[in-house]
């Protein structure tokens, strides 16, 4: 049996996953990175995108995260996600509407709102891309 690494996915609301897995691919700000047992320690920012969980060389779970941080050790990878949900649960229609609403709001936003709306729009666009 191949070595496993403990994977923990935590959102502000709850612990979403806590299980040994074969490999995890995390959408890092500087690019996707795979984590196997024995990985070098690292802390990385996570961009909005999809975490892929692998068992026996195949993807078994795809989870959308709206950004956050990942802490990796040789035995464990913990992702602290701002928002997380299985890709299969993304409602494309609602997400498309959110993208449109945020785009409309951004076009008339005052400078104080722009940064927050831009961030929310990026997350909504990444969620829409994940559901495609």
Give the residue carrying structure tokens 């997350």: 123
Q: Alpha-carbon distance 65 to 42, whole Å?
A: 19
Q: What integer pLDDT is reported at residue 2 of this predicted model? A: 66
pLDDT digits (tens, 9 = 90+) for 19-38: 999 999 999 999 999 999 99
Which pair of tokens denotes residue 102? 């945020």
Strand 84-86 with 76-81, pairing: unpaired
The pTM (predicted TM-score) of the whole model is 0.90
Where do the domains of the chain lie?
5-87, 91-131
Q: What integer pLDDT is reported at residue 44 of this predicted model? A: 97
Q: What integer pLDDT is reported at residue 73 of this predicted model? A: 96
HSE-CB for 78 with a 13 A CA cutoff: 9
Architecture of domain 5-87: Sandwich (2.60)
Q: What integer pLDDT is reported at residue 1 of this predicted model? A: 47
Could you say which residues of the chain have pLDDT below 70? 1-2
106 near 118, Cβ under 8 Å? yes
Give the residue carrying structure tokens 């979403």: 16
pLDDT digits (tens, 9 = 90+) for 79-92: 999 999 999 999 99
């Amino acid at each position: 049996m191949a070595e496993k690494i403990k994977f923990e996915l935590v959102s502000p609301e709850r612990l979403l996953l806590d299980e040994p897995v074969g490999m995890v691919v995390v959408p890092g700000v500087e690019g996707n990175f795979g984590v196997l047992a024995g990985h070098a320690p690292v802390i990385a920012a996570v961009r909005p995108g999809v975490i892929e969980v692998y068992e026996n060389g195949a993807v078994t779970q795809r989870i959308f995260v709206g950004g956050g941080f990942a802490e990796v050790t040789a035995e464990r990878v913990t992702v602290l996600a701002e928002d997380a949900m299985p890709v299969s649960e993304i409602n494309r229609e609602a997400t498309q509407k959110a993208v449109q609403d945020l785009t409309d709001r951004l076009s008339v936003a005052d400078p104080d709102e722009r940064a927050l709306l831009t961030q929310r729009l990026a997350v909504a666009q990444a969620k829409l891309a994940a559901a495609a």
